[in-house]
Structures are given as structure tokens and as C-alpha cells.
Chain A
Amino acid sequence: MDEITREFLVESGENLDRMDRDFVALEKNPADRPTLSSIFRALHTIKGTCGFLGFPKLEALTHTGEDLLARLCDGELVLSPPITSALLRMVDTVRLMLADIEAKGSEDDHEFDTLIDLLTSLSQPAGLPSPPPPAPAQVAPPTPGTGQAEVPAPTPPSPPGVHPKPAPTPSPTELAEPRLPTVAESSVRVDVRLLDKLVNLVGELVLARNQVLQSLGKPASDTFLGACQRLSLITSELQEGVMKTRMQPIASLWDKLPRQVRDLANACGKEVRLELEGADTELDRSLLEAIKDPLTHIVRNAIDHGIEAPAVRLARNKPAAGCLTLRASHEGGQVNIEVQDDGQGIDTAKVRQQAIRHALFTADQAARLSERELLQLIFLPSFSTAEKVTNVSGRGVGMDVVKTNIERIGGAVEVQTRPGVGTSLKIKIPLTLAIIPALIVASGGDDYAIPQANLLEIVRLGAEGTAPRIETILGAPVYRLRGNLLPLVDLNRVLHASAATPPRVAPPARTIVVLQADHHQFGLLVDQVRDTQEIVVKSLGKHLKDLAVFSGATIMGDGRVALILDIAGLAQTAHTLEAAAGETAPAPSAGPTAVADPSQRLLLVTLGGEHRFAIPLAVVGRLEKIPRHLLERAGTDLAVQYRGQILPLIYLTRLLPFAPGPVAESLDPLPVVTAIQGGRSVGLVVGRIVDIVEDCVTIQRESRRPGVLGTAVIQGRMTEVLDLPALLADGENSPEPFATALAQ
């Protein structure tokens, strides 16, 4: 039996029960319009669904009953005991029919012509107000007596041999054979709020259980130990059971797909066959909601870009109709959803070209990228290999949204593709959101929880050789992690910025938790990493809802409340905070002689290409990553609001006439180096910030080019050391103002 029929049975059962009650109420008060209308609506619903599901006999019967009810509603007829009886008989017959449909899947060979005739005759507008009651009594021969309402007896009009079993009064012989509960009896509708409350309570129980187990350390009696173990077991099972009540099959989401796929295929001029596997895979309601949009995006992409036009497919020896397969399955506490097409696959060569065109990589680097790395690029914002943007897809926004949404709920996306054979996209998501794995860290004496979905790795400081790698660029700490510069955020400073000044220099033996928020990576300096734990997420009260740094709170094993860090919010807060703190940091000396000392530290950047440039750190204010959408145009100048002021932005390439290719248009966020020029800050857009070197750098070759101090060999590469103040001064005096530079 399909889901729709099942739902119909449950719903109709409820409707019939209500009609029973309503009829009884109506007998006491026949003039009660609202009750009549309620019966009418219930019957109308059943009739409509019957027609839709293809039960013509049931539809005919309910239609007749509806006619009669309509007249009652209109006041053309007055409810009389015979009419009530006939209608109740109809209700009973419908109930029997439903039982049959449930048992056999069809309405079978029931005949209710007599009942239909009876109902029809009753609904004839009687010339006189009195005749109707006696008349039906004659029309309906099987009705035993008119005076007594023994009408709901098991459907007299039905022909013999139709329903041996479903008779409502079970005879003793039938009891021997246990009757399976009907669908309507075996399922109950429950308010979602009640379920949420149960989930909460079970969460509490889990915590209480943890507390009990924690305090078990002392010598305990065997009985107590046994009871604890049982408690633990039952709690786990209860948790599982309650979580299941919130589960819904993914079919509820997929039901809409056949239509969507059909429309999309038509719009794109493709032929697509949709196959759904594992539609009964269940996952949490909230998660279903969260994957709805990503799934739509993926399906769109597959049809628009993946599956080829029928002619192309035939030429490639494939069937004209492409096959789009969606698979869902459970695997180790996770749900896997796979969307597979047998289309043309993703052209990795095209992705590589695109990556070079967007200047994400140089041709050299791009050539070295593995296929896996290349495929990750399609999730970057505004990255698209589509030649033309259709109204279906190709704007390069979809996959970005997919990844963000999936990661937000603690999931992951993976692509596999084979040119000419097809593409497969795998989504892994957790079963539920109410309980998440988290890393517990300590900062300033308090414990905080970090959702593991944000966690990349943990770096222990203080170990031999690692300590010196925390460096500060004028107040902004960075850490060199395998050659990359990882911006650091000190949790103590973010959380207790207003409190008595925390130590600026990190004490030894602290830990960096490397986190990912949106597309941004940073290291969080914490005092200590305590544990990983499953935590029950609870929301914060209205007074604390506005705190971007926390996403909620949880209760630890010892009953204490611990706050859950919102990593994206934390990154944002830290950024503004650093900016504010930077105001008080010593202003960088921007004198032209700043570079004289060859042993000083240099910031290595690339611009458009691969060639490296070095900027003396002494003239660098801060390193920032500025999202493109924050850029504003003031007249012809490009600027960004920064620390409450306007920071003009200049592409460094424009100040260097000899610089290679431009900075990628797609680069987002823009790496920006700020410097002081003429008493105010200027932001210089570079291609990539590579590293900071402290080696003793000797400028080997003086340069005659303006703005370049000379060339040095740094990390085995020819690097031009820039004279930033001179460059900026030039830029300012240049007859062609920044306009064109900025228009880039």
C-alpha cells in the first residue's frame, strides 16, 4: 500500500469517528448548523480523496450522502431519525470499505445500491414536511425496524459473502486468529511540540545518567552498579526511541522531485529518468528542512549541466534519456545521500582553466592540483564552468550554497566524476541536531563547547620548536601552519576584552584549535582542551540571544552550564575587536628609511601571478581579508568601511607597472595589507599572503625601478622587495589617479 493511501485511511478513520460523535450530538440538537457543516466537510474530504485515489464505488456512496447532507445544511430538509440512521449506516459502510481497502488494497466488489437508493430517496425534496420519515422505511427493506435505532447493525444491504471478517463484532472463533491492528489504530498523531519536549527531557536524562556514572568512582555495591548499568542502557535506548519519533522518511522530500525533474528536463530540452532508492530512509525533521534547498540545487545542476541533450547522448552511444539516481541510506549514525547522473561528468580541465582565469592558482600550481582538489573548487562562490548562464543554473551560486548549507548542519559534501560517464555527489549528514558532538575547551577558567563540525585540527603549543611560530603583525597574532599563515584569535581576549587586561603575550603551553567558519579558517587560542563529548544543544534566553559569540548552551556531566561557541559569530566579533584594539597599537613607522635594516622581517605576497614580492613588515599595518561584498565605490575610488573609517583600497598591481597579471576578479575575500600613507590608512589588495620571513635578508641587487628597493633571494626564490612608502607616494602623485587602478 502506498503512503498516500495509508494516510487516506488514517485520516478517513479519524473523520468517520468524528462524524459518529457529531451525529450523536446532532440528534440531541438537530438544528445545530456548525455540527452539520463539520459532518459535511468531513464527508466531502473523504469523497474527494476517493475520487483522487480511484475508488469509484466509495466515491459514489459518499457523493450521495453528501447530497443529502447538503440539503440538510441548506435547510431544505430537517434531520429526522431515519435520515440520521441512513447516514450512520453510510458511515459504517464507508468504514467497512476502508477496512477492505486496507486489507486488499482495492474496494473490491461491494455493492451499495440499496443504500445509495435509500440516501437518494431521502434527499428528494418532499412535498410535505411529514412524509419523508415513513417513506424511507419502505424503500429500505433490510432495515429491520424504524422505531428503534438499531441501525448501525453490520451493514444490512451488503450482499452476502462480501466481508466475512471485518465485521466490527468479533465472533469468538475469529478471536482465535489475532487480528492485526489497522493502520488507523497503529498510528497516532502527536503534536510536534510534545515530541520536542520529550527530546529535551531525554536529553536531561542522558545528562543525569552521565552524572550518575561519573560519581560511580567511589566503591559501590554490586546492586547499585547493576542498577546503574541498567539505567545507562535504558537511557540509551530511550534516547534512540525518542529521537526516532522526530524522524521522517526522506520520501517526504523526494515526493516533489518527479515533477520538478520533469519540468526542469523539459525546460532544458533533456530527457531524464529519475530513480529513487532508499526513500524510506529516515532523518530528523529539522535536517530534512535543511537539505531541501541543497538537494534542489544539486538536481538542477545535474539536469542542466550533467545530463547531455538527447542527440548528444545518442552520438555518445548512451540512451537518449539520462538517468538521475538519488540514493539515501544510513551508515554509522549518519545519513548518506547520493545524487548520481550518467551525464558528461565535470570537465576537470575546464575547472583548471577556470581556476587559472580566476587567478586562484597559477598555471603551474593548477597543473599540480589533484583531481580531488580541483573538484573542491566547484564549491567556491561564483565559480562556474558553465559556458552560458541559463535560468536554471550556471551562475555559480548553487554549489556554494549547497556546501554552506550542508556544513551548517554538520555535514560534508563530496564529488566524484568521470568524464563522459557521470557525476556523483555524496552528502553526509548527522542523524539529528539536538545532540551534537563537541570539543570542550577551557578559557579563563570556564568551559566552552565547540561544535565538532567546525573543528579542523588541534595544535598543541609549547612543544619543542612550535612555540616561536606564533608571531604578531602589529598586534595581530598569526601562526605558521605548514607554510600557511593562520590568523589567530585569542578566546580569552575576545571574551574578556572589557575585563582587566588579559596578558597580551600568550602564556606557554596553550593550544590552538583550528576552526573553519564559512570559507574562513582561523586558529582559536584556548587555555586547554578538555574532552570531546556529545552535548544537548539548548537555546539561550532573550537577554543573551543577541550575543553573536554563543549559539546556545548545554549542561555538562557535573550539572554546570557551558556555553556553546558560535564559530562564525566568534570570527566576526574577533575581527571587530582586533580592529578596535589596533587603534591603540603603536602606529607603524612609515618613514622611507624603514627598510634599511636587512635583517628585519618581511611579508611575502604574490600579486596576480606566482612571482613573490616582499614588503617590510615595519610599514605594514595589518593583514585583513575583506569580503568583496563589503567593497564600496566612493566616486571612482574603491573603499571599504573599516574600523569605523573609510579605508581606500588599491590593487598593488596597479602601482607596479611591471607586475604580472591582475588579481583575480573572483578572489573573495580579498587579501589586503594595510599601510599608513600621509597619516591615513590605505589598503593594498594583493593576490595572496604567503608568509612572513625573519631570515637575514640581504638585498642582492639594487633596483632602479621606482618603488622597488631591490631583489633578494628569500626561501630560494627571487623576491622583489617593495618600497611601499615610495610606491604609495607615486600613486598619489600620479596624474592618473586611482580610478583605473580601482576599477579593476
Chain B
Amino acid sequence: MSGSTRYCTFSVDERLFGVPVTEVQEVVREQVMTRVPLSPAAVRGLINLRGQIVTAIDLRQRLGLPAGPDHPASLNLLVRTAEGPVSLLVDRMEDIVELDDACLAPAPSTLTALDRRCVRGIAQLPGRLLLLLRLGPLLDLRATPAPGPITN
């Protein structure tokens, strides 16, 4: 079985990640954020998306990456879920890339168990590695994020 999938790529902490374009609803610029006390650490807050209240997930936190220098990721990448859109906070949007499904490599064993669940596969782009994320486990915050090494 071979085919190709188009991915929407973005960077967090200078690392490149991607999700299938079919799972992306839209990208909106920085929104006023309402913090939610007592919420899981990865939840940065709530935003108002044209009247819809959307939970924003701090991807840096979620992936166990070091906290941003001073300007936290602020671009809202809205992904579709069964319960409505969820916002992933990313640093910067990158290109849309089309990748052959066959050339994805599995996540290296050096990733922690949690990280591995969230990783659909790794693609080797010229000069960079692209980590393709799996939204289901990524958005399941009940599992505690275990910060693990991510190799560049």
C-alpha cells in the first residue's frame, strides 16, 4: 500500500513538526488568552474563535520541550477533533509538504514511550527532520507528559 499525504508543517522550539492537512481547520494569529486555573499544565487557556470557546494546548509543554525564551508560542493551529476544534500553540507555520507514505521512518527508540505514541513517523527532509504527529494521543492530556529527548 503506497500513497502520499499532504502535511501542514510548523515549528516549535526550532523543531519541525507536521500534521495531515486534512486534520487542520485553520490557523489564526495570536488571540486573547483566558487562563484556566487548576487545568492540566499543557492547557494554556481558552480562546474565543468567532464565538466558539476553544481550548489552547501549549505544544511546547505538551511535547516536553524547554520553555520558550521569553515570547511564548502564540500562533493558533486549529485542528479538528470529534469534540470540536482544539488549538495547538506553535511558534511559526512552515510549508505544506507532500510525502510518500512509504518513506516515513518509525519514531526512534530513543524517544520516550509517550512521545513515541504521539509520533506518526519521521520524514527526512533535505537538511531537516520532520516529526509527524498523531493527534489522538497528543491531545489526550490524561497521560502525563514525560519530557524526553528529541533529537534534531
Please give the residue numbers on chain A whose beta carbons come within 8 Å of chain B beta carbons, in ascending order.
200-201, 203-204, 207, 444, 446, 494-496, 498, 538, 540-544, 547, 549-550, 553, 555, 559-563, 573
Contacts and interface: CB of A to CB of B under 8 A. Distances in A.
Given A446-B34, A561-B46, A562-B34, A543 B40 contact: yes
Indicate the member of A200, A540, A561 with the most B CB atoms within 10 Å: A561
Nearest to A552: B53
Nearest to B33: A561
B83 A542 contact: yes
A541 B51 contact: no
A200 B53 CA distance: 12
Contacts of A561: 32, 34, 45-48, 53
Interface in B45-92: 45-48, 50-55, 57, 83-84, 86
6 contacts: A495-B37, A540-B53, A543-B86, A547-B36, A550-B36, A553-B53
Given A446-B34, A542-B83, A543-B55, A560 B39 contact: no
B6 to A, nearest CB: 27
Contact of B55 (A495, A541, A560): A541
Given A541-B84, A542-B83, A203 B53 contact: no
Contacts of B83: 541-542
B43 interface: yes
A566 B41 CA distance: 21
Contacts of B53: 538, 540-541, 553, 555, 561
A446 B37 CA distance: 10
B85 to A, nearest CB: 9
A494 B51 CA distance: 28
B40 A203 contact: no
B32 A560 contact: yes
Contacts of B34: 446, 553, 560-563
Nearest to A553: B53
A544 B39 contact: yes
A497 to B, nearest CB: 8
B143 interface: no
Contacts of B57: 543
Nearest to A577: B38
A interface secondary structure, majority: mixed
Contacts of A544: 36, 39, 43, 46, 55
B36 A563 contact: yes
Interface of B: 32, 34-40, 43, 45-48, 50-55, 57, 83-84, 86, 139, 141
Contacts, number: 68
A595 B20 CA distance: 72
B145 to A, nearest CB: 13
B47 A203 contact: no
Given A542-B83, A563-B34, A547 B50 contact: no
A200 B84 CA distance: 15
B55 A540 contact: yes
Contacts of B139: 543
Cβ-closest 8 pairs across A and B: A204-B51, A495-B37, A541-B55, A561-B34, A561-B46, A553-B53, A538-B53, A543-B55
A446 B35 contact: yes
A559 B38 contact: no
Contacts of A547: 36, 38-39
A563 B55 CA distance: 12
A549 B48 contact: no
A549 B57 CA distance: 20
Contact of B38 (A200, A203, A207, A549): A549
Indicate the member of A495, A541, A553 with the most B CB atoms within 10 Å: A541
Given A446-B34, A553-B46, A560-B34, A543 B51 contact: no
A452 B30 CA distance: 33
Contacts of B50: 204
A204 B34 CA distance: 18
B80 to A, nearest CB: 13
A496 B51 CA distance: 27
Contacts of A200: 51
Contacts of A560: 32, 34, 48
Contact of B54 (A203, A541, A562, A573): A541
A562 B45 CA distance: 11
A549 B55 contact: no
A573 B50 CA distance: 32
A541 B48 contact: no
B37 A549 contact: yes
Contacts of B48: 555, 559-561
B13 to A, nearest CB: 22
Contacts of B38: 495, 498, 547, 549, 573
Given A559-B48, A560-B48, 10 more contacts: A200-B51, A204-B51, A494-B37, A498-B38, A540-B53, A542-B83, A544-B39, A562-B34, A563-B34, A573-B38
A203 B55 contact: no
Nearest to A542: B83
B32 to A, nearest CB: 5
B114 to A, nearest CB: 16
Contacts of B45: 561
A543 B81 CA distance: 12
A553 B46 CA distance: 9
A201 B36 CA distance: 24
A549 B47 CA distance: 19
A295 to B, nearest CB: 33
Nearest to A497: B38
A555 B36 CA distance: 14
A550 B46 CA distance: 13
A543 B139 CA distance: 8
